A and B are shown apart, each in its own frame.
Chain A
């Protein structure tokens, strides 16, 4: 794994499923912590969810999914039934040699299993535990479950989101899983920092709902003074032109955000100072804002004759804040991201048919740069024996007992293979189109990144 990285020597046991918690612990794995995913063959939503190469799950589909590779990279896999007494006993032996235990069960589950914070402290007094739930372990909503989209709704973000003058719309695709995962990573690093100082662990009760609320602070303050924040879509409270404008081609767009008189003059110059723009009403911030609809209508006609990415460069060269509305293929081909080696390409040693694939990278670089991590994509239960022998110090006999009791697994109990094209991305309606030439785009990226 990672050599001499910041979290070398830190061991994390993660009872994690689906998205938010795996995203959080992935940061620790990237920083060199030994993150052990404790998995159950009966709950494999993240391994089932694909995407699979060309939407066709293979014979060992549970080791092939792209989302699993992305969110579980650099983590080890221990497929151990902690609900079985023998499995629980082995798990507690691991806890005694671990620094952090995380879960995203519903509140009450770990207590029922005898794996709650207090039970773990009994075997590891300075253990750090983090439980990520929808609403937290206390309060009247504690038993309720969530998905990212129900948290978008509950926390107020969806209410604030929508086209100008229109109804509230779902805020984003699974933003709450991501912002929640980031908060998890931050909380765990805080806990490690605190333990260094005091030698003491802690119990972190992290709620997706409250993390969502922390994303809309200004609106929370405004609501207490009766100020209603309007839904604005791509418009702005006081800037104009500030919107998304159509460009050449199908579903191609550019954003322009002009805040100052200077930027407006730059935009006029970039457009070749058309007659409509030489209008005293547009000379001032106030005039542009008051006549923003007219302004947008003129701009749409101009942008529609241009290529979005070329126009972005022209406008930026003139000092106008502008950005093309980029899609996944645009980003994979993007020269800026390529020069910064942002995207990652890695293969999956446990699923050779997957081959090299492109993944989003980390948005921060450090100087001096730490060693480039290898990308481990664990097969289900790949590290069962190694972890139980080396970490839990179980004998061959003990391990055989676990195998005989059916507590360990390396594949799902029955072959309930996901149907062709059944990965969650395929059924999201009309919003998903395909690029038949995508493999060329990936090939063009692979050698470049592998050299880097």
Chain B
């Protein structure tokens, strides 16, 4: 690993996907990340299907594996006085705490920001919760679906005449996590200069609202209410069209402002030059006719051949690839985009990198797969704390660890 953050110590106490992904973003850049899970079942994500390799198993959930790379893991019941005491000792050496309890919960345990700040003034406490620490909804319950709904994402995805559809695979957690990582990095730069920590309040709802395409200011400039249909009548611009194998999606980019002339030439379909298709509004009005013309031509192409031919002429198109095709994508292989990690139960797998190379290298190469439940209890409690085997046995027997 490049280890850009190898002098940053992070404690993750979240039990939420947003918190887990936020800590992962830091851990994948070398931060010393320690994940605390409740004894027994551990993080809820451990129990989400599917499991990698056969029977359901808490160490093999694909969601847990993907969201927890490069962390060490321990178990600790922070709701007990003994657990609270151990947590405070752990926090004394940390730069960052990421937590996602309901607002006020840590205060009740005597672990609110003021207490933690007294114990460690450098601590950057980051609370990632569905609605934030304040406001009338702050105690409301949520989920990925609900976050998409209240954040405006759901209303704007799906077919024009269908119900709201949503986007797959926990993107609301990822958006919140990326925002949290940005806020944490800014806070770290500040901490390294001033020695001061801070409390960061991240709201998943707000992270989602800041994500759809400009729909708040679009409304405030024109009164237009963005709705669904970004993918079903926009034939030249985002709709999925079929070829002889995979679906593809076209754009009007790279056509020098003459999209229909360019595409008519490329596809050898002069009927695309009809004046009724010349404007965006016209293409929307006559979308079914336009679709039929394009499908007639695209049916003769294989998707990847089509992509190469079009992209070589600087047109901009996309192939709708399955995750399996992505795993085997020659482009990603040549860039060293995936990171190979071994896991005792899940085996050797390719994991996505950070999305960028630094000086030509994937910064996340090397590193470790997600921790098994309590995998580093002995290493942390014994090594870092110097607890004896007997002492650890006491904590285990009491259900604290």
Smallest beta-carbon distance B124→chain A, Å = 9
Contact, CB under 8 Å: B318 / A432? no
Contact, CB under 8 Å: A438 / B220? yes
- A374 on interface, CB distance cutoff 8 Å: no
| A197, closest chain B residue (CB) | B7
Smallest beta-carbon distance B357→chain A, Å = 4
Contact, CB under 8 Å: A66 / B5? no
- A434 on interface, CB distance cutoff 8 Å: yes
Q: What is the total number of residues of chain B having a CB less than 8 Å from a CB of chain A?
A: 157
B325-361, CB < 8 A from A = 325-327, 330-332, 334-335, 337-338, 346, 349-360
Contact, CB under 8 Å: B157 / A223? no
Q: What is the total number of residues of chain A having a CB less than 8 Å from a CB of chain B?
A: 160
- A192 on interface, CB distance cutoff 8 Å: yes
With beta carbons under 8 angstroms apart, the residue of A146, A163, A214, A434 that contacts B353 is A214
Sample 23 A-B pairs with CB under 8 A, ordered by A number: A138-B334, A139-B335, A143-B311, A161-B157, A170-B239, A170-B240, A189-B189, A192-B189, A193-B185, A206-B356, A210-B355, A215-B171, A220-B323, A220-B327, A223-B323, A231-B168, A233-B165, A234-B163, A329-B219, A358-B216, A366-B200, A428-B284, A431-B226
Interface centre among A154, A327, A358 (most CB of B within 10 A): A154
A173-200, CB < 8 A from B = 173-175, 177-180, 182-183, 185-187, 189-194, 196-197
| A160, closest chain B residue (CB) | B168
Contact, CB under 8 Å: A220 / B352? yes
Give chain B residues whose Cβ lies under 8 Å from the Cβ of A185.
182
**Interface digits, A306-347 against B, CB 8 Å rule (1 contact, 0 not)?**
000000000010011111111111011001110110110000
Contact, CB under 8 Å: B145 / A179? no
| A134, closest chain B residue (CB) | B316
A52-60, A82-90, A96-104, A278-286: which one contacts chain B? A52-60
**Interface digits, B150-163 against A, CB 8 Å rule (1 contact, 0 not)?**
11111111111011
* A215, B334: Cα distance in complex, Å: 20
With beta carbons under 8 angstroms apart, the residue of B152, B165, B166, B204 that contacts A331 is B152
Question: A186-B178, A257-B143, A331-B209 known; A162 and B165 CB under 8 Å?
Answer: yes
* A91, B335: Cα distance in complex, Å: 31
Give chain A residues whose Cβ lies under 8 Å from the Cβ of B142.
321, 323
* A151, B307: Cα distance in complex, Å: 13
- B164 on interface, CB distance cutoff 8 Å: yes
B75-83, B129-137, B293-301, B388-396: which one contacts chain A? B129-137
Contact, CB under 8 Å: A171 / B167? yes
* A52, B221: Cα distance in complex, Å: 6
Give chain A residues whose Cβ lies under 8 Å from the Cβ of B224.
51, 425-426, 432-435
Smallest beta-carbon distance B20→chain A, Å = 11
Contact, CB under 8 Å: B165 / A234? yes
Smallest beta-carbon distance B373→chain A, Å = 18
Give chain B residues whose Cβ lies under 8 Å from the Cβ of A357.
217, 220-221
* A6, B48: Cα distance in complex, Å: 39
Contact, CB under 8 Å: B150 / A210? no
With beta carbons under 8 angstroms apart, the residue of B146, B221, B226, B254 that contacts A173 is B226
A235-243, A378-386, A389-397, A400-408: which one contacts chain B? A235-243
Give chain A residues whose Cβ lies under 8 Å from the Cβ of B239.
170
Interface centre among A151, A178, A255, A329 (most CB of B within 10 A): A255
- A44 on interface, CB distance cutoff 8 Å: no
B49-57, B266-274, B378-386: which one contacts chain A? B49-57
- B27 on interface, CB distance cutoff 8 Å: no
Question: A207-B356, A438-B223 known; A70 and B189 CB under 8 Å?
Answer: no
